[in-house]
Amino acid sequence: MGKADFLSPKAIGNRIKAKGLQKLRWYCQMCQKQCRDENGFKCHCMSESHQRQLLLASENPNRFMDYFSEEFKSDFLELLRRRFGTKRVHNNIVYNEYISHREHVHMNSTQWETLTDFTKWLGREGFCKVDETPKGWYMQYIDRDPETIRRQEELERKKKQDLDDEERSAKFIEEQVRRGRAGKEPEDPVYTELKRENEEEKGKIPLMWLIWSDYTLTHFHTHSNIPSLGPSALKSVKRKESSHSADSKDKKKKSALEEIIEMEEQKRKSVKLDHWLHPDIVVKVITKKLGEKYYKKKAVIKEVRDKYTAIVRLIDSGDKLKLDQSHLETVIPAPGKRILIVNGSYRNTEAVLEGINEKTFSATLLLDSGHMKGKKIEGIPYEDFSKLA
């Protein structure tokens, strides 16, 4: 019987069948060939190429099984990581999507007999978190990529920094309230003369005022040793006290305002920024993506672009590189050398390194510029200052 024409219905049907997935029972993993029916699979098993593959596999069957198992595991985990990430998903959903690819490695050629065995193995080896439910086995990919771990650490560090800023703001407000309560003095009552706007109109004084004034006068004369003064003397004393209290209040308000402005300025400076690059400081390259040639090499920042990118020149070779600040770290010089504070409350201030505390990973600095020149500060973290070029 002759072969069907290219545009005949049978030929078209055969091409459509060849495109999609076929039955697993008619697939030869050794030859990686898919047959459409039982007769085709039988003919393939009797072919010379299939017999050669069987002879090669019989010499070392474990090597072939390990190879197919490793391919199946790597492709399956790559699909799980790329398609679902770290979400919890049913293992059958992942497997169905995996086998939709026609050239996938079949499970019957691996060391695992069922999908359940493979899922349990992933859990034992630590590739995934697996749990069994009445609906079946669920898995969750564990991402151990160094870049992902570094990104998570940066997010945790930023979150901790935001919490520290909130605590610092709360302490500042609490300190202001405490100072306001401590500096507040009880105000003395100011007595004034009773004057009538209209001489013909009779004045009316509430009964409670009369009782209180009578009690205060009696209490004052019976419990004090102060000699009685005349009306004119009392008026002059009250006038002097009122003017003195007004001057002192204005002075206190002015000093408190200046103090608040100063503390606000210090608070603004004390908040750490997420960028620290400055020109003319010495840094160290800490990325391995550029190769061992530049790893752990010192360089000088020549230019800062967009706050997070620096143009650096290597000290040893003189090569120029464009690097992100995450690929650089500060350099701590020997005591007595000049440094630049790149972050924190004394940002952009030059200083001299006095000493290093290895237990707290901090240093003691002597400011060498600005209006606070000569002041010694302690507890400055290593990452907040760097050696000047």
Residue 330's pLDDT is: 93
Q: 357: which 2 tokens?
A: 């505390």
Q: 141: which 2 tokens?
A: 């990919």
> Which of 218, 343, 229 is closest to 277 using CA atoms?
343
Q: What is the DSSP letter of 281?
A: B
Rounded to whole angstroms, the Cα distance separating 163 from 155 reads: 12
Residue 195's pLDDT is: 66
Degrees, nearest 5: CA angle 255-260-262: 95
Residue 340's pLDDT is: 92
Residue 250's pLDDT is: 47
Question: Residues of the chain whose pLDDT is less than 50?
Answer: 1, 208, 210-211, 213-230, 233-235, 237-238, 246, 249-252
Residue 217's pLDDT is: 47
- CA atoms within 13 A of residue 283's CA, in its CB half-sphere: 32
Residue 116's pLDDT is: 92
Rounded to whole angstroms, the Cα distance separating 285 from 299 reads: 7
Q: What is the DSSP letter of 36?
A: S
Element (H, E) at 300: strand 298-305
Residue with tokens 């090569």: 319
Residue 241's pLDDT is: 52
Residue 282's pLDDT is: 94
Q: 184: which 2 tokens?
A: 């507040």
Rounded to whole angstroms, the Cα distance separating 72 from 10 reads: 35
Residue 3's pLDDT is: 62
Residue 24's pLDDT is: 62
